[in-house]
Amino acid sequence: MGLFDWLRRTRSSPAAASPRTPPVQDIGPAEAQALQAQGALIIDVRSQVEYETYRIPGARLIPIAQLRRDLSLLPESEVLVFVCEMGGRSATAAALAAAAGRTGVYNLAGGMQAWLAAGLPVETSSA
């Protein structure tokens, strides 16, 4: 069984999750936007280049490679929404945060592609 299969099974089956690990919930773009409006932090785990191309307004970049090395990079916040391009890297990041004891952890299912398909705003870096 691959990592993504394990993550999918763990998130979808309460019996499969460890009683000490808070669950990670997959949410859609509208839910992510609503959580952000209520104070949740959007953590973009893509590369610098991907982030500069387009991103959710107000998202903070912490590439997955850096996050794997140092979970203390996560800001103190009650609610974190992780995002990547398609949802795979952000699912991994959310699982890492939950395994480290963070609660209020969400994964934007479908990532930036779902955000764009929903017609929600993005910002880019000025060149």
CA 73 to chain centre: 14
**Options 41, 64, 84, 112, the catalytic residue:** 84
- Respond yes or no: is residue 122 known to be catalytic: no
Pairing of strands 41-44, 105-108: unpaired
Give long-range contacts, CB 8 A cutoff, 24+ apart: 46-54.
46/83, 46/84, 46/85, 46/89, 46/112, 50/85, 52/124, 52/125, 53/124, 54/112, 54/116, 54/122, 54/123, 54/124
Residues pairing with 108 in the sheet: 27
Catalytic residues: 84
